[in-house]
Amino acid sequence: MPRTTSGSLQTLRKSNQERVLSLLLESGPTHRAELARRAGVSRTTVSTIVTDLIGRGLVVEADAEAGADGRAKEALAVNPAAGMALGLDFTFDHVWVHLADLARGEIAGGGRVVDVELGWAERIDVAEDVLGSLIAEHGLDRGRIVGAGIGLPGPIEKSTGIVSTSLPDQPWSQVHAADEFSKRLAMPVEIENNTRLEAVAEAYGGAGAGVGDVLYVGLSSGIAASLILDGRVVRGAVGAAGELGHTSINVDGPACPCGNRGCLVLRAGIPAILASLRDHLGPKATIDDVLAAAGAGDRACEGVLADVGQLTGQVLASLCNLLNPQRIVVGGELAQAGDALLDPMRGAIRRYALSLVRDVEVVPAALDLGARAGAVGGAELILGEKDDLARTLNRLDGRMQR
């Protein structure tokens, strides 16, 4: 019986510690009395919990502020240095690693270009190598990483962590990514479509910050979208929400590798843009060449980008009718075209969307392109799961140097 009682007390103490950590993660600096009220425990219990958490370096006293009586009151906050969130993002030709503290400040980041033919296991090797280099360079403790948010191309089956097949020959198709990364990294992992992670990054620290309902559109070699409603990422029943590029804009159009015909990506993706300008710019032209030429007033390039904006806007008009987002954030390489792309897109939305929703804001993404933004979103994914984060922090071994 004493053993059971001791175990029950330890379980209760741990539960209370995690409750306090979760409240501080959710609300930011909070006074002891407010913590006690929200946690449903006495002030004495909170004081005991806080003393322990401060001693372990998990909680710190925040800057004092004046109360209604004019007296300074000490607030408490989670120590930003108590842990690190890891974000990894894998595009077809890049790997990026991002480490953030618990206040979302960047600790370190770095990436590497990879061969598009590289297999999935070798891509994980690259990520581990970059991570190891960052940890060594900045003198970090890998044991303080509380979890990894990982972005991969393609639909992710949320319940299993398996990457579904969307297009042939993708390196991650049918890989049980959650298991593979858990084994290789030896930490909790969350697997997500990388366009959704770009959307998360923009929603919390970019062009979508402060907006509840955001539709993010990534225009690159592929075209994808991600919807955030009331601050929550919409994934769909099997994790396939957002395959915007495979919306058919011409049912009698050319066949797409996805099995559909006349898909938007066949007209508006980077390969289609380069193909349409091959005779004008030459076979070795890149999308950077197209953007530079358009910026210098090249009418052919401006016209192609305008067509891309108009076609994409037509599809987005239907999404506005259906979902009524407050703001559309356009990312990916093509967003660098600015108003040459966005103005035709806005015009198409105004023309084809219902009058109630057609004045939606359409703005360019504010963060870095592609894998880097995705990695930032991956870290945000971990930091956004307050209860899981509190449990993980409470399990960290040892005491921190403060």
Asked whether the predicted pLDDT for residue 277 surpasses 50, the reply is yes
Same domain, 249 and 335: yes
Same domain, 325 and 346: yes
Same domain, 109 and 73: no
pLDDT at 399: 46
CB–CB of 256/265 below 8 Å? yes
Same domain, 112 and 190: yes
CB–CB of 373/202 below 8 Å? yes
Q: Which of 78, 103, 129 is the last residue of a domain?
A: 78
Cα–Cα distance between 129 and 391 in angstroms, integer? 28
DSSP H or E stretch at residue 94: strand 94-101
* The pairing of beta strand 94-101 with beta strand 106-113: antiparallel
pLDDT at 92: 85
Out of 29-33, 167-171, 194-198, 300-304, pick the least confident.
167-171
User: By CB neighbour count within 10 A (0-12 exposed, 13-18 middle, 19+ buried), where does 255 fall?
Assistant: exposed
Provide the token pair at 178. 């959650």
Q: For residue 316, which of 327, 332, 305 has the smallest C-alpha distance?
A: 327
Q: In the block, which residue shows the tokens 């959307």? A: 199
Number of domains into which the chain is organized:
3
Q: Average the pLDDT over 145-165 and give the result.
A: 88
Q: Does residue 229 lie in a domain region?
A: yes
Same domain, 215 and 342: yes
Same domain, 381 and 289: no
Q: Which of 35, 50, 78 is the last residue of a domain?
A: 78
What's the number of CA atoms in the CB half-sphere (13 Å) around residue 303? 6
Confidence of residue 229 (pLDDT cuts 50, 70, 90): confident
Same domain, 271 and 392: no
Provide the token pair at 55. 């001693």
Q: What CATH number corresponds to the domain at position 55?
A: 1.10.10.10
pLDDT at 168: 60
pLDDT at 238: 81
Q: Does residue 205 lie in a domain region?
A: no
Same domain, 185 and 119: yes
Same domain, 243 and 116: no
Q: What is the pLDDT of residues 348-364, one digit of tens each?
A: 999 999 999 999 999 99
Asked whether the predicted pLDDT for residue 67 surpasses 60, the reply is no
Q: Average the pLDDT over 60-78 and give the result.
A: 68
Q: Does residue 265 lie in a domain region?
A: yes
Residue 293 dihedral angles phi and psi, to the nearest 5°:
-65, -40
36 residue type, one letter: A
Confidence of residue 62 (pLDDT cuts 50, 70, 90): confident
Provide the token pair at 334. 């093509």
Range list of β-strands (E), 2-105: 30-31, 59-61, 65-66, 72-73, 75-78, 84-90, 94-101
Q: What is the pLDDT of residues 324-339, one digit of tens each?
A: 999 999 999 999 999 9
Q: Average the pLDDT over 30-48 and give the result.
A: 90
Residue 147's DSSP bridge partners are 85
Q: For residue 360, which of 326, 391, 395 has the smallest C-alpha distance?
A: 326
Q: Does residue 45 lie in a domain region?
A: yes
Q: Does residue 204 lie in a domain region?
A: no
Q: Which domain holds residue 382?
A: 84-199+373-396
Q: Does residue 274 lie in a domain region?
A: yes
Asked whether the predicted pLDDT for residue 402 surpasses 70, the reply is no
Cα–Cα distance between 366 and 62 in angstroms, integer? 30
Asked whether the predicted pLDDT for residue 68 surpasses 90, the reply is no
pLDDT at 160: 85
Asked whether the predicted pLDDT for residue 375 surpasses 80, the reply is yes
Same domain, 118 and 103: yes
Q: What CATH number corresponds to the domain at position 389?
A: 3.30.420.40
Same domain, 279 and 355: yes
- DSSP letters of 172-191? TTT-BHHHHHHHHH-S-EEE
Asked whether the predicted pLDDT for residue 342 surpasses 90, the reply is yes
Same domain, 112 and 223: no
CB–CB of 148/392 below 8 Å? no
Confidence of residue 19 (pLDDT cuts 50, 70, 90): very high
Q: Which of 25, 48, 78 is the last residue of a domain?
A: 78
DSSP H or E stretch at residue 156: strand 156-157
pLDDT at 221: 87
Q: Average the pLDDT over 180-186 and give the result.
A: 95
Instruction: List Cβ neighbours of 153 (8 Å cut-off, separation of 6 or more).
Output: 90, 91, 92, 170, 172, 193, 194, 222
Q: Does residue 149 lie in a domain region?
A: yes
CB–CB of 400/143 below 8 Å? no
Q: Does residue 140 lie in a domain region?
A: yes
